[in-house]
Amino acid sequence: MITVLRIGHRPDRDKRITTHVALVARAFGVDEILIDKKDSELERTFLGVCERFGGKVNIKTGVKWREALKNWKGQIVHLTMYGEKFDAAMDEFDRDGDLMIVLGSEKVPREVYEMADINVSVGNQPHSEVAALAVFLYKYFDGRPFKNFEDGQVRIIPNKKGKTVVEN
């Protein structure tokens, strides 16, 4: 089980970027997305994508992040520009266990750095939670990250030119 926990979501400012965090998580095979602030509109948008394109990915907003971290039974990785280099960290993950991936927004409380088993960077420059998550998952899944969802209303057939969409 892989869960993404997004901390510091501001529904008025971050709707789009947090939606993108959730979409990247889904596309790369994450099972569950937890977001600290309640945002029913974001949940609706995300579940709409799952309905159309498939995938049973749980999303929950309004989650108490401290409790979520405390109650997590598997490993916790916090993605931050201050962490250990992501490629060097790959051997430290127990592939048979559960993994929670924590992403911040603005300043992340120090507690998060301490509660994580490992703080991991995707380069040591500030950039984006969406990019950090995608690059981390690509490496974590060893370059074979993308999910095929069979249960959607539509399926996309890869096409060099144009769009091929099949109704299920």
Binding residue for ligand SAM (CB under 6 A) from 27, 122, 134, 137?
Answer: 122
The yes or no reply on residue 123 touching ligand SAM (CB under 6 A) is yes
156 binds ligand SAM (CB under 6 A): no
Compute the distance between CA of residue 74 and CA of residue 93 in angstroms, rounded to an integer. 10
Stretch that binds ligand SAM, among 45-53, 57-65, 116-124, 153-161 (CB under 6 A): 116-124
Residues 61-90 that bind ligand SAM (CB under 6 A): 79-81
d(CA 62, CA 157): 36
Q: Should residue 110 be labelled a site residue for ligand SAM when binding is judged by CB under 6 A?
A: no
Q: Under rule CB under 6 A, how many of the chain's residues touch ligand SAM?
A: 16
Beta-sheet strand order (sheet of 75-85): 58-61, 32-35, 2-6, 99-103, 75-85, 118-121
Q: Which is nearer to ligand SAM, 126 or 162 (CB)?
A: 126
Q: Are 39 and 63 in contact (CB under 8 A)?
A: no
The upper half-sphere exposure of residue 134, i.e. CA atoms within 13 Å in the direction of its Cβ, equals 10
Residues found near ligand SAM in the complex (CB under 6 A)? 79-81, 103-105, 108, 121-123, 125-129, 132
